[in-house]
Amino acid sequence: MLDLKFVRENPEIVKKNIENKFQFEKLSLVDEVIELDARNRAAKTEADQLRAMRNKLSKQIGQLMGQGKKEEASEVKAQVAANASRLAELEGQETELEEKIKKIMMTIPNIIDPSVPIGKDDSENVELERFGEPIVPDFEIPYHTDIMKRFDGIDLDAAGRVAGNGFYYLMGNIARLHSAVISYARDFMIDRGFTYCVPPFMIRSNVVTGVMSFAEMDAMMYKIEGEDLYLIGTSEHSMIGKFIDTITPQDQLPKTMTSYSPCFRKEKGAHGIEERGVYRIHQFEKQEMIVVCRPEESPMWYEKLWQNTVDLFRSLDIPVRTLECCSGDLADLKVKSCDVEAWSPRQKKYFEVGSCSNLGDAQARRLKIRVDGEEGKYFAHTLNNTVVAPPRMLIAFLENNLQEDGSVRIPEALQPYMGGMKVMSPVNHSE
């Protein structure tokens, strides 16, 4: 959420930013919120004047009564009563106007970083850099669920009967591999100085609207019926919410944390053939990283965060690339974002396995996450990035470590988490 004063003083910058995000339907909101703000400030000014007058007249009534001038005191009382009626009317206007202003301000997108490429949607995202050599082996690589079935490692049919489409049972060594990757990612981030955390998996509505836009909320979140609770779509929501209504001394920043959680998402819309299996699902597990820092440090942390994910995937012999998200592909709260994509030797292309975002002070402004600095209080900057999100990450792992005989090589870094196993051998060659 932008600073209302900034919008009032820089309407053309805000409008140009909306145009750059191709959200032309929101252009009229800028003038509307400025007009509402003018009315609200006028109402506040008049209300303040009436309160000052009430205090003055109250003293005058006391003086008149003390002098025995009851009739004159009654006239002043009538004026106070008339002012009280107008004051109540103004206070009602203030409440109504502030609610309208807040709703619009939470809809106007954040100002994107000047380095963000301008584009309508994800088809215009820009490749930044590749890490590792993408290899296509000279043997056929099956679809990821077919690989898993060779290890008796997945049961989608049973999951469909129990919970419907978008759910899964992982079993045996595939399930163990899933847990191993999460544990390895946890220790990888701890070794890089991040504090490990397991957060609440449900959050209240004021936290939901503090960490994401209304459009994202509707598309992603599952609400608990009859309660003011939502299942988290990622632990970032709960972790940023941890700092709601807090003031952190500047010398205690940055806060760098890595968090584990299950994640729950609606995943609306049609799914293509490559998004079957465990690619696009309603439930998954994830290791996340978040940073709360000073504004001037957020660009540096942004670079560090995506590099952490790249380094982790490369340690598991998975080629990756970074992709800069264009303006039209940025969620409204984001200043800058890039995706980390892993190589799929079966599809002969990259696919998303993580997303790194700098949200500036947007979440902090909504959630009142402040810093006590040398020159006063200010809003912190928040960032987040995916470490790993299996089981989708397992697709990249299995494809890139599959061997011609159907076995899967376990990279050295992961072997301690698999009980020393170096190769995972199939148990069902008929699949």
Q: Where are the domains of the chain?
A: 4-105, 122-424
Distances (CA, A) of 395 to 11, 131, 224, 307, 349: 46, 18, 31, 21, 13
Pairing of strands 336-344, 423-424: unpaired
- The string of pLDDT tens digits covering residues 380-417 is 999 999 999 998 899 999 999 999 999 999 999 999 99
**Which pLDDT does position 57 carry in this prediction?**
72
pLDDT of residue 148: 96
Residue written as token pair 């910058």: 13
Q: How many CB atoms lie within 10 A of CB 78?
A: 10
Question: What pLDDT shows up at residue 54?
Answer: 76
CA distance 374 to 377: 8
Tell me the helix, strand and coil percentages in the chain, rounded to 5.
Answer: 50, 20, 30
Q: What is the pLDDT along the chain (431 residues), one digit of tens a residue?
A: 899 999 999 999 999 999 999 999 999 999 999 999 999 999 999 888 888 777 777 677 677 677 777 677 667 677 777 778 888 888 899 999 999 999 999 999 999 999 999 999 999 999 999 999 999 999 999 999 999 999 999 999 999 999 988 899 999 999 999 999 999 999 999 999 999 999 999 999 999 999 988 778 878 899 999 999 999 999 999 999 999 999 999 999 999 999 999 999 987 654 444 457 888 889 999 999 999 999 999 999 999 999 999 999 999 999 999 999 999 999 999 999 999 999 999 999 999 999 999 999 999 999 999 999 999 999 999 999 999 999 889 999 999 999 999 999 999 999 999 999 999 999 875 54
Q: List Cβ neighbours of 212 (8 Å cut-off, separation of 6 or more).
A: 220, 237, 331, 333
Distances (CA, A) of 259 to 7, 236, 275: 35, 8, 26
Amino acid at the residue 395:
I
Classify domain 122-424 at the CATH class level. alpha beta
CATH topology of domain 4-105: Helix Hairpins (1.10.287)
Cα 374 from Cα 244, distance rounded (Å):
21
pLDDT digits (tens, 9 = 90+) for 327-375: 999 999 999 999 999 999 999 999 999 999 999 999 999 999 999 999 9
